[in-house]
Chains A and B, each alone.
Chain A
């Protein structure tokens, strides 16, 4: 059984031809409807009826729904999608079936990549693709990176006897919460405070200089300060802020002076961290961006939620955010946040860099061009050489010059790299859904119910449009395999170009979405 058909059905991807034999029996122009695919053999037989131009017209008609992704750049794309959203366009009513991401190809969830669509093109006579095996760890690697407290702490031997801090807490009472009205001046910079909530973690037996190097836990009193330093050393816009952050991010032994203990080092690093934020300026906007950069549990949360939603076959950003239990709101403010203010621009830039910090590195696949095999070399002008060539060809099994030239065929080897790249691109689009959800989750953890819903919806719609374009183009290309190049003309090249344009639009959409999320942080 063809695996691709089943998985396409489950995924809601465009269906390929029912069977090749059915088309062989009754190829007819009437049978072909908008959105329906044509196998190369059928197309070849249909040519006498309608010619290549008609095929092109049909293909153009089906491709028209994807024009939002072509010829537009950066923000225009998102605006168009936004307009479409405003018109309450029902995506599911498009001629092409709705494109959904994830589900692990054959409908069952994949442990590692919930957005993975498996094999998209062909596969009728191929063995099913190997699914990635869930990694089994020896010591409970299933724990998320956010659960750092569960991991073995190499600094356990530094911990104080709990009795000491309990004695202090019992006699002085619990630390009260600071009133919001007192949050003025540098007290607005609270990103560092997250690592200083537990006195048990602040008081330690000893302080060793390595503490600043080895502590990478962003919830540790020293680790959080060095993490902020590492982020701001490259991301801050002000040179003075960058230089000070450089000092707090590295192993500066004078900052961990044993005479004032671990608590003294925590106070010193916290104070300098607040100074870094003050040098950068930007008030709560800068502070939110830094908190965003340290929201390292957002990606694991999004991934876990995506695995949950993958069971339904719809790994889309709004559902993932919902599954993660976070809220997002529509943007009710129609005024642009940027009113020529360079300070706001700097804060948005910092927010974008913060998102880059918490999301995995993205690789945008390159869509290669089709490499046709070269035509056989013409016989030599020199009759003696030509005769020698002919003799050699005869004995080595080469082409006999007396034979007619071989027909130039669009081989499977020529199109397979393109189809692989197209699958990778659709997977990247699925992954982008999870990334955008992770960005929205991180924002929701920095400030309650951020206005990210509109961005999520627009991005989801645009990603589906783009994925649909790629899948359709891939389907067409797959059907051209084995077809004479004279018969298919420029169609394979056009299909590849459509994929390439979709890849460019996808990159632009990603940039726009991250900018929109960073902007939502300031609203």
Chain B
């Protein structure tokens, strides 16, 4: 198979799930073989695909700007336009004021004149002009029908969910989140399943439908745990721990509290660790084990002091004061003295 066919094959892969890994491997292989001086077009197509597979690496956007200059110098107008539109879209999604309108208009006009990149120019414009975002993205979806565009289709559904939410169309927002979730599921992409599940969970929480949120958050937690994504674990476990307490599911609450202790410490998010300790302590109190409830907080304070922000220790102290109020000074002080004795060597 010659290089051109390999690049064609690369462009037919979906950039989701297993196919994404396959695409990245293939891209690495092609990169070793392609002579950028002889075939700049192939090298540029390769760069575009690699960028789409991993757009959030620190240097990705800077590389894109360099690639655009190279494409223009080589007279590869179509590719230069494609790169310009990608740059405008990805920069516009984070900071639309950073996209010069002249650059965007030039790229959109070039795409329209050449009758190419129908979805790309709409998505670039949607990123910079949020008032037109809903219409442009819905139009773009009509052009994203191929197998290879599944990744883009998923992203557009997530963006449309935001557009709908901003327009107070709650049901419409959930519909797009579900569609994105479905695409991620079809391609078995753990990252995007986790993202979509978390967003659907948050969506239900905001609507006050916490019971409906639980299965989505549980799925997100399972995937985040399998991927060792501590940030995602902390976020989802924080929400789940309080939901389980509300549901009186003490076993599950204890499990996620333990996850908070581990992932919180690994990320140095000491408030997550404190949250884990307070949840665990509250569970002990619910079981009637007052000594364990107080002992956990005292041990945490003595072990963590000097290693974590004072604010985190203050929260633990505040919780102890709350327990003293709740249990009464006499009861509390007895258990408290026991806890102090038990931890005197810490």
Contacts and interface: CB of A to CB of B under 8 A. Distances in A.
Partners in one complex: yes
Nearest to B269: A186
The listed residue with most B CB atoms (<10 A of its CB), out of A179, A187, A340, A343, is: A187
B305 A253 contact: no
B327 to A, nearest CB: 10
Interface stretch (B10-18, B106-114, B236-244): B236-244
A286 to B, nearest CB: 13
Interface stretch (A133-141, A196-204, A470-478): A196-204
Given A244-B202, A267-B271, A274-B271, A190 B309 contact: yes
Given A187-B270, A268-B275, A272-B238, A205 B325 contact: yes
B187 to A, nearest CB: 20
Contact of A341 (B62, B93, B307, B311): B62
B133 interface: no
Interface stretch (B40-48, B70-78, B141-149, B313-321): B313-321
A193 interface: yes
Interface residues of B, number: 71
B38 interface: no
B119 interface: no
Contact of A171 (B198, B313, B322, B336): B336
A205 B61 CA distance: 51
A238 B94 contact: yes
Contacts of A168: 317, 320-321, 324
> Most chain-B Cβ atoms within 10 A of its Cβ — which of A176, A192, A203, A243?
A203
Identify the interface centre among B94, B238, B302: most chain A CB within 10 Å of its CB: B94
B336 A259 contact: no
A275 B336 CA distance: 33
B224 interface: no
Interface in A75-102: none
A161 B319 CA distance: 13
A190 B245 CA distance: 28
Interface string A267-283: 11011111100110000
A158 to B, nearest CB: 11
Contacts of A196: 311-312, 314-315
A260 B317 contact: no
A279 B231 contact: yes
A186 B246 contact: no
Contacts of B264: 271
Contacts of B268: 184-187
Main secondary structure of the interface of B (DSSP, over half): helix
Interface in A160-208: 160-161, 163-165, 167-169, 171-172, 175-179, 182, 184-187, 190, 192-193, 196-205
B199 interface: yes
B345 interface: no
Contacts of A340: 62, 65
Interface in A234-292: 237-240, 243-244, 246-247, 250, 252-255, 257, 259-264, 266-268, 270-275, 278-279
Contacts of B21: none
A160 B235 CA distance: 30
Contacts of A250: 206
A250 B270 CA distance: 23
A203 B246 contact: no
A453 interface: no
Which of A198, A205, A279, A342: most chain B Cβ within 10 A? A342
A346 interface: yes
Given A179-B306, A278-B231, A164 B325 contact: yes
Given A192-B311, A197-B311, A237 B95 contact: yes
A240 B93 CA distance: 12
Contacts of A239: 93, 158, 162
A278 B322 contact: no
A122 to B, nearest CB: 41
B98 interface: yes
A262 B320 CA distance: 11
The interface centre, meaning the residue of A169, A182, A266 with most chain B CB atoms within 10 A of its CB, is A266
B282 interface: yes
Residue with the highest number of chain A CB atoms closer than 10 Å, among B231, B315, B340: B315
Contacts of A387: none
Contacts of A184: 268
Given A264-B279, A271-B264, A275-B231, 5 more contacts: A203-B325, A263-B278, A268-B242, A271-B271, A342-B94
8 contacts: A185-B267, A186-B269, A244-B202, A247-B205, A257-B246, A267-B271, A271-B264, A275-B272
Q: Which 10 A-B pairs have the closest CB atoms?
A: A202-B318, A185-B268, A196-B311, A203-B318, A263-B319, A203-B321, A193-B311, A270-B271, A271-B271, A237-B94
